[in-house]
Amino acid sequence: MTRIGKQLSVGFAAIALFSAGYALHDQVAWPGAHAATAAPVVQNEPGRSVAAVALPDFTQIVAEQGPAVVNISVSGTKKTALAPFPGFDDDSPFGEFFRRFGAPVPHGEQRVPVRGEGSGFIVSPDGVVLTNAHVVADADEVVVRLTDKREFKAKVVGVDKPTDVAVLRIGAKSLPTVRIGSAQHARVGEWVVAIGSPFGFENSVTAGIISAKSRSLPDEGYVSFMQTDVAINPGNSGGPLFDAAGEVIGINSQIYSESGGYQGLSFAIPIDVAMNVERQILANGKVSRGKLGVTIQEVNQALADSFGLDKPRGALVSSVEAGSPAARAGVEPGDVIVKFNGTEISRASELPGLVAGAAPGTEVSIEIWRKGSTKTLSLKTGELKAVAARADDTGGGVAAGKLGLTVRPLDPEEKSQVAEGRGLAVEGVDGPAARAGIRPGDIIVAVNGEPVSNVDQLRRSVRQSGVVALLVQRGDHRLFVPIKAG
C-alpha cells in the first residue's frame, strides 16, 4: 500500500548491500570537476553529433557546509502491558479515583528500550540545531555527533508537531553553521543536494532536482512541501536540503513509498517555515499561528464552472466560524479566497500555511471571488488554538518534562469551565504523569495547593520538590493526584 512515511531508523540488526551492474553502449562525456565552458562533442551515431551536458559539481558545497550537518541518535523506552500493579485493584482507593474520572484502572507496564537515528544541522555557533520533531519525539536522551566525532547530549528546547520541526541545543561554542536561504525563490527543475545519515551512514550526500512545490500531504495542514527526487532514506530525516548556491532551502522530512524505502519521491519542509518556528520557540517557548476561522476545500473544474471562475484556483469557503475574524470581515460560505495579503492562492492547501504564518493580530487583506466579481476584505488575524511544544525543564513557557506532561494555557472556553478562571490544559502525557492517570484534556488547577496559571509555576514546583500534588479537574470532578518526577 502506498504511503507517506516519516523517516526514522528505529534500530536495525544488519544491512544487505547490493551492487547493480550496468553497461554503456554509447559514449558519454563526463566533464571534469569544474568544466563548465566548452561542451565536448560526442559521436553517438554515424553522421550525428550531440553536445554533452555539463553536470553540476557539489564538492564545494559538501566541503563548506558538511561540517555543520550532524548525526542525531535518540534513545527511549516504550510501554508494554503487564498484570495490574498491587494496590490498583478496582476496590482499592486508587480504583475509586480512576472510576470517578472515567478512566480504566492502570495496569503494570514493562519499559522496552527503543533506539533511533536521524539528522540535523547547526544554525547558530552557540549550539542551536534544527531537526524533525518526529526524530526526537518521546526520546529520553538525544545525542548529537559532529563530523569531527565530538558528541554532545542535546536538550530539546521545543518541538512543533504541526510543522514537524524541533529545536535542540548543545553545549558548545564557535560551531560551524549552514547558510540559510529561502524556498520562496526555488524553482522546479533546480539541482538540490541532501546531506544526512541514511541508515546511520553519517554525512552521506545525495543529489537530485526539485520535482514540484506546494505539495500538500495527508495530516500536514501547515506545510506546503517541496517535492524532490533526492534519495532520502531512514536516518535522513531532519537533514538539510541545499540549493546549488550552498544555502539550506529545506529540511528533509518524508517520503512517498510502497516499500518503506526511497522510491523517487521525497518531501522537504521549506526552510522559511522552519526558521519561523525556531525564532518563536527560542523567544516564547511556543509557536503562535494566525487564524481566519473558515473551513475550506479545493476548487475543481466543476466548482470553478459553477462559480464562474476562469479556471480552478483559490480556496472555496465551505463554512465560517461564528465570531471569527473572517465572520467579522464579512466572509461568507461560497466565497473563493483567491489572494491572501497579495499572494495568489492556486490551491486551497496553500492557504493554511500563509494564514498560520501571520502572527495573531496582524492586519491582512484577502481577495475573494463572489458572484462573478472580486472583492477585497481587511481583517486582523485571530490566534489558532495553541499547540503546545514539548520541551525540557530549561526551556521557556512550555512543559514540565520531568513529569511527562505537555501543557498549555487555557483558552477562553476552557477558562469558563474552571471556577478560578485559570489553569493549564494537558495536551500530552507520558512517563510519571501517564502512570498517575493524568489524561490529555485534563485541566491542572493547582500544584501543591497553589493555584497555577502558567508553565513557569509548574516548572518551579517540580524543581523544588521531587513529588508534586496536582489538583486536576476532569469534567465536573476534581481530585489531587500525586506525581513523583522522573
- Is residue 420 over pLDDT 90? no
Same domain assignment for residues 121 and 235: yes
Kindly indicate the confidence band of residue 126, based on its pLDDT and cuts at 50, 70 and 90. very high
Strands 179-180 and 450-451: unpaired
Structural domain range at position 421: 401-484
User: What one-letter code names the amino acid at 226?
Assistant: M
When pLDDT is averaged across residues 348-366 and rounded to a whole number, the result is: 90
The answer to whether residues 275 and 257 belong to one domain is yes
Residue 17 has pLDDT above 50, yes or no: no
Residues 428 and 377 in one domain: no
Q: Is residue 388 part of a domain?
A: no
- Read off the pLDDT of residues 166-188 as tens digits, 9 standing for 90 and up: 999 999 999 999 999 999 889 99
Least confident of 13-27, 275-289, 420-434, 460-474: 13-27
Q: Does residue 281 share a domain with residue 206?
A: yes
Flag whether 390 is in a domain: no
Q: Is 346 in the active site?
A: no
Q: Are residues 125 and 91 in the same domain?
A: yes
Are 317 and 335 contacting, i.e. CB atoms less than 8 angstroms apart? Answer: yes
Q: Indicate the average pLDDT of the chain.
A: 79
Domain CATH code at residue 172: 2.40.10.120
* Tens-place pLDDT, residues 55-100: 889 999 999 999 999 999 998 876 655 544 555 455 555 555 555 5
pLDDT value, residue 466: 66
Residue that wins the pLDDT comparison between 465 and 204: 204
Q: Of all residues in the chain, what percent carry a pLDDT higher than 90?
A: 42
At 391, the pLDDT band (50, 70, 90 cuts) reads: very low
Same domain? For 282 and 294 the reply is no
Q: Mean pLDDT across the stretch 342-367?
A: 90
SS3 sequence of the chain: CCEEEECCECCCCCCCCCCCCCCCCCCCCCCCCCCCCCCCEEEEECCEEEECCCCCCCHHHHHHHHHHEEEEEEEEEEEEECCCCCCCCCCCHHHHHHHHCCCCCCCCEEEEEEEEEEEEEEEECCCEEEEEHHHHCCCCEEEEECCCCCEEECEEEEEECCCCEEEEECCCCCCCCCEECCCCCCCCCCEEEEEECHHHCCCEEEEEEEEEEEEEECCEEEEEEEEECCCCCCCCCCCEEEECCCEEEEEEEEEEECCCCCCCCEEEEEHHHHHHHHHHHHHHCCECCEECCEEEEECCHHHHHHHCCCCCCCEEEEEECCCCHHHHHCCCCCCEEEEECCEECCCCCHHHHHHHCCCCCCEEEEEEEECCEEEEEEEECEECCCECCCCCCCCCCCCEHHHCEEEEECCHHHHHCCCCCCCEEEEEECHHHHHHCCCCCCEEEEECCEECCCHHHHHHHHHHCCEEEEEEEECCEEEEEEEECC
Instruction: Identify whether 394 is part of a domain.
Output: no
| Of 287, 314, 341, the domain-final residue | 287
d(C-alpha 378, C-alpha 362), whole Å: 10
Single-letter residue type at 233: N
Tell me, what's the pLDDT at 94? Answer: 54
Q: Which of 237, 255, 287 is the last residue of a domain?
A: 287
In a domain, 206, yes or no: yes
Among the candidates 355, 383, 411, a domain finishes at: 383
> Residues 94, 174: one domain?
yes
**Local confidence band at 116 (pLDDT 50, 70, 90 cut-offs):** confident
Residue 264 has pLDDT above 60, yes or no: yes
Mean pLDDT over 185-214 rounds to 93
> Which pLDDT score, from 0 to 100, does residue 218 have?
66
CATH number at residue 323: 2.30.42.10
* Mean pLDDT, residues 438-459 taken together: 82
| Whether 423 and 443 share a structural domain | yes
Residues 156 and 36 both lie in one domain: yes
Whether 34 sits among the annotated catalytic residues: the reply is no
* Average pLDDT rounded to a whole number, residues 103-119: 69
Give the pLDDT score at 404.
78
Would you say residue 393 lies in a domain?
Answer: no
Higher pLDDT, 400 or 157: 157
| pLDDT the model gives residue 47 | 57
Active-site residue, selected from the candidate residues 9, 204, 237, 253: 237
Is there a domain that residue 396 lies in?
no
Alpha carbon separation from 50 to 23, 30, 32, 122 (Å, rounded) = 20, 13, 18, 44
Identify the weakest region by mean pLDDT among 42-56, 213-227, 361-375. 42-56
Residue 14 is assigned to a structural domain of this protein: yes
The answer, yes or no, to whether residue 269 has pLDDT greater than 90, is yes
- Rounded mean pLDDT, 389-401: 38
C-alpha cell at 309: 471562475
The number of distinct structural domains making up the chain is: 3
Torsion of CA 237, 238, 242, 246, to 10 degrees: -140
Higher pLDDT, 323 or 44: 323
* Residue 301 domain flag: yes
What percentage of residues in the chain have a pLDDT greater than 70? 77
CA–CA dist 303, 70 (Å, integer):
48
Regarding pTM above 0.85, the answer is: no
Same domain, 58 and 195: yes
User: Could you say which of 73, 119, 164, 442 is catalytic?
Assistant: 164
- Does the active-site annotation cover 164? yes
Residue 358 pLDDT > 80: yes
Q: Are residues 247 and 342 in the same domain?
A: no
Among the listed residues 9, 119, 134, 461, the single catalytic one is 134
Q: Which is nearest to 136 in space by CA: 152, 103, 160?
A: 160
Shared domain check, 162 and 30: yes
